[in-house]
Amino acid sequence: MIAVYPGSFDPVTSGHLDIIVRAAKLYDSLIVVVAQNGAKQAAFTAEERVSLLEKSVAAQGLKNVSVACISSGLLVDYTDNLGAGVIVRGLRAVSDFEYEFQRALTNRHLRPSIETVFLMTSAEHLFLSSSIVKELARLHGKIDGLVPAAVVDDVRAKFLIPNE
Ligand code: ADP
């Protein structure tokens, strides 16, 4: 079974990577899809987000994970075209639930054959989001541990955080 894990990943966090590692064990193949959400003003370009994900995945030695990018069209169409039957999403707190529920039901309405599967966050990533990482980085706060080790330097460079 092929699964897709879509998101903004602006940038990838340790919480995202945790979901990727766990989902990769559940499916034969996992395709992480960087979605270019027009409504969200991204700090990183789509190419940068893909590259950070690729580095993070490579550092984990995950052979069945690849990274792609979707710039237009419906996620369910994209998922279908890849021959995937599952959309993976991560859930943190109750605050994620309503949004995720709405998306999952909309996607099911559009394509009943595709299941959305939720993986619960690990406790240490409960409060971690790309937004928090960006907020911290803009203030030159310490982001070690919040983003995958393989990309800490890239994220620091983006926000011009000087080396310690
Ligand atoms: P989107 O903009 O589509 O919500 P994100 O990049 O913010 O994309 O998140 C992608 C997915 O990863 C979402 O399902 C989100 O709930 C999940 N996610 C984000 N941060 C974490 C985390 N710390 N732990 C578990 N799942 C997470």
Question: Is the CB–ligand 1 distance for residue 92 below 6 Å?
Answer: yes
Model pLDDT for residues 75-101, shown as the tens digit of each residue: 999 999 999 999 999 999 877 889 999
If you take atom 21 of ligand 1, which residue's CA is the nearest one? 15
Burial of 95 (0-12, 13-18, 19+ CB in 10 A): exposed
CATH number of the domain to which 129 belongs: 3.40.50.620
- Does the residue 23 lie in any domain? yes
Q: What is the Å distance from ligand 1's center to 161 Cα? A: 24
- Does the residue 22 lie in any domain? yes
> What gap in Å lies between CA 73 and CA 141, rounded to an integer?
37
Query: Sorting pLDDT into bands at 50, 70 and 90, what band is 38?
Result: low
If you take atom 25 of ligand 1, which residue's CA is the nearest one? 121
- Does the residue 164 lie in any domain? no
Question: Is the CB–ligand 1 distance for residue 129 below 6 Å?
Answer: yes
- Does the residue 91 lie in any domain? yes
Cα dihedral sign, 28-19-16-111: positive
Domain count, the chain: 1
Q: Is pLDDT at 164 greater than 80 in this prediction?
A: no
Half-sphere exposure of residue 38: CA atoms within 13 angstroms, side-chain side? 4
Across the strands, what pairs with 33? Answer: 6, 68
Element spanning 67, H or E: strand 65-70
Q: Is pLDDT at 139 greater than 90 in this prediction?
A: yes
Active centre residues (catalytic):
16, 40, 92, 130
Which of 30, 41, 92, 118 to mutate to test ligand 1, by most ligand atoms within 8 A of the CB atom? Answer: 92
> What gap in Å lies between CA 64 and CA 66, rounded to an integer?
7
Question: Is the CB–ligand 1 distance for residue 9 below 6 Å?
Answer: yes
If you take atom 8 of ligand 1, which residue's CA is the nearest one? 7
- Does the residue 163 lie in any domain? no
Q: What is the Å distance from ligand 1's center to 117 Cα? A: 13
Range of the domain at 17: 2-158
- Does the residue 17 lie in any domain? yes
> Per-residue pLDDT averaged across 145-149, rounded?
97
Question: Is the CB–ligand 1 distance for residue 90 below 6 Å?
Answer: yes
- Does the residue 59 lie in any domain? yes
- Does the residue 76 lie in any domain? yes
pLDDT at 96: 85
Helix ranges, 30-161 (H): 46-60, 75-81, 94-110, 130-138, 152-158
